[in-house]
């Protein structure tokens, strides 16, 4: 079935589903929303608003497009000053920062656990928006990770797609050596100034920078130690095509310089934009940390969720809107998958037609189905309120490990720097 036909069917489902929402509540007001990325979050929220308005014609939407840093700055400033009149009704917050806002500004966001069926979502997404026994926020897109690899390079090196399934990082390194020896291509790219890979590896083992009490979890963190050692080993083996900054990182795989890239599902559109590489890519689960209890082949990188401000004059209406579209309308999720490449965290959406489609770009694999299966395997962790600060501490010290500094000394340096940064 071609993309247009799938989209046509999906649109019909979405619109018919919207009619079922019914006029259960007589809402009338404008809902103001802050978000970023005009081709993704902004466009998707406008689509959601249009669907809701079909069954609630008195409700209008003002979707304001800011840069992500501007959203964060404006939200922080308004909450800190108590200027609730400057706040929107709904705001998009990156998952890593959710707990910082929820814990720093108690009462600022509306709890939705009395309305939303959170059992319908990926557990890790619900965990990150929970404080005590209350759940805040509407789970949105996921950063479920995968290993994108060049089929042609791996085949030239003597490997089949099944050889890439559920491997360990040690096996990844072994394969990388063979790939470079036989094809001349580096196995992957990595920006050592970015903490993303450390986060991917840690969460795959159900661990984070902080323990369940919110205390620093660095010195005795087996997953973090293994994550740092693994990255250092990959670098020491010469398997990395170096990247500094986002443009370098993207160019490493879009230009064909590397045999794989391990990152979030949101990169799929960027990879597929290289039309001349169609049929040359495959997708497999991420490698698993060796020797770490609880380690698996599923993780997350990024993602964001919607939050309703408790001060909103249209709070109930805003919650109803999010609940009807983002928590119930599976047709909507099919539509934004096809149009925007957005993998939502509503588990029921996985059964939709768009998720079942084979993608010729990836050799006929059902790529979206794969990612949706991995989504439900992501370990839930507590991101805490200082993830960004810990990222800085990690990236500041990773090079010293590569240069030969003992890992326990590196962990101590990270711990000391982190304690200084978060005091």
**How do residues 150-183 score in pLDDT, each as one tens digit?**
999 999 999 999 999 999 999 999 999 999 999 9
- Number of Cβ within 10 Å of residue 70's Cβ equals 13
- pLDDT for the residue numbered 22: 35
Confidence of residue 214 (pLDDT cuts 50, 70, 90): confident
- pLDDT for the residue numbered 242: 92
Angle (CA) 321-138-23 rounded to 5° is 20
Angle (CA) 382-385-389 rounded to 5° is 110
- Write the DSSP string, 70-134: HHHHHHHHHHHHT-GGGS-SEEEEEGGGHHHHHHHSTTSB-B-TTTS-GGGB-HHHHHTTEETTE
Helix-, strand-, coil-residue percentages of the chain, each rounded to 5: 50, 20, 30
Angle (CA) 110-114-115 rounded to 5° is 85
Angle (CA) 383-42-71 rounded to 5° is 50
Residue 134's nearest CA partner among 164, 110, 158, 157 is 110
- Is residue 23 over pLDDT 90? no
Whether 351 contacts 340, CB under 8 Å: no
User: Could you give the CA distance from residue 319 to residue 246 in angstroms, rounded to a whole number?
Assistant: 35
User: Could you give the CA distance from residue 277 to residue 255 in angstroms, rounded to a whole number?
Assistant: 10
Residue 17's nearest CA partner among 48, 44, 46, 57 is 48
**How do residues 273-323 score in pLDDT, each as one tens digit?**
999 999 999 999 999 999 999 999 999 999 999 999 999 999 999 999 999
Compute, in degrees rounded to 10, the torsion defined by CA atoms 362, 366, 371, 372.
Answer: 160
Long-range CB contacts for residues 334-338, cutoff 8 Å, separation at least 24: 334/6, 334/10, 334/13, 334/14, 335/7, 335/10, 335/11, 335/14, 335/47, 336/44, 336/47, 337/368, 338/3, 338/6, 338/7, 338/10
| Percent of all residues in the chain with a pLDDT value above 70, rounded to a whole number | 93
The tokens for 188 are 């992957």
- Is residue 75 over pLDDT 50? yes
- Which domains, ranges and CATH numbers included, belong to the chain? 3-143+302-375 (3.40.190.10), 144-299+380-422 (3.40.190.10)
Q: What is the mean pLDDT of the chain?
A: 92
Reported pTM: 0.86
């Amino acid at each position: 079935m071609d993309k247009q036909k799938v989209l046509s069917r999906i649109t019909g489902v979405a619109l018919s589903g919207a009619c079922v929402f019914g006029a259960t509540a007589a809402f009338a007001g404008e809902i103001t929303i802050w978000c970023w990325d005009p081709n993704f979050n902004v466009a998707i929220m406008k689509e959601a608003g249009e669907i809701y308005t079909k069954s609630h014609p008195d409700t209008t939407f003002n979707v304001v497009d800011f840069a992500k840093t501007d959203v964060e700055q404006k939200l922080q400033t308004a909450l800190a000053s108590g200027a609730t009149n400057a706040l929107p009704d709904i705001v998009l917050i990156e998952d890593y920062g959710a707990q910082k806002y929820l814990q720093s500004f108690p009462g600022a966001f509306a709890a939705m656990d009395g309305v939303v069926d959170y059992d319908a979502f990926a557990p890790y997404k619900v965990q990150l928006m929970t404080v005590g026994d209350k759940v805040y926020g509407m789970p949105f897109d996921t950063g479920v990770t995968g290993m994108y690899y060049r089929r042609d390079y791996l085949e030239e090196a003597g490997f089949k797609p099944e050889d890439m399934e559920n491997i360990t990082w040690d096996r990844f390194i072994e394969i990388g050596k063979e790939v470079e020896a036989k094809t001349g291509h580096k196995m992957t790219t990595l920006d050592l100034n970015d903490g993303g890979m450390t986060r991917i590896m840690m969460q795959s083992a159900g661990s984070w920078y902080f323990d369940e009490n919110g205390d620093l979890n660095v010195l005795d963190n087996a997953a973090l130690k293994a994550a740092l050692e693994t990255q250092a080993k990959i670098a020491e083996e010469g398997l990395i095509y170096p990247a500094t900054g986002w443009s370098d990182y993207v160019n490493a795989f879009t230009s064909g310089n590397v045999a794989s890239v391990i990152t979030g599902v949101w990169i799929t559109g960027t990879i597929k934009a290289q039309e001349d590489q169609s049929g040359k890519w495959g997708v497999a689960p991420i490698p698993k940390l060796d020797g770490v209890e609880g380690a698996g082949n599923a993780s997350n990188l990024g993602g964001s969720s919607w939050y309703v401000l408790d001060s909103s004059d249209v709070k109930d209406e805003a919650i109803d809107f999010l609940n009807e579209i983002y928590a119930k309308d599976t047709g909507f999720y099919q539509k934004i998958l096809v149009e925007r490449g957005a993998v939502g965290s509503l588990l029921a959406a996985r059964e939709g037609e768009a998720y079942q489609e084979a993608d010729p770009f990836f050799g006929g694999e059902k790529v979206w189905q794969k990612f949706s299966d991995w989504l439900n395997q992501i370990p839930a962790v507590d991101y805490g309120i200082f993830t960004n600060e810990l990222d800085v501490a990690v990236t500041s010290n990773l090079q010293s490990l590569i240069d030969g500094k003992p890992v326990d000394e590196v962990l101590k340096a990270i711990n000391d720097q982190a304690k200084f940064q978060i005091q």
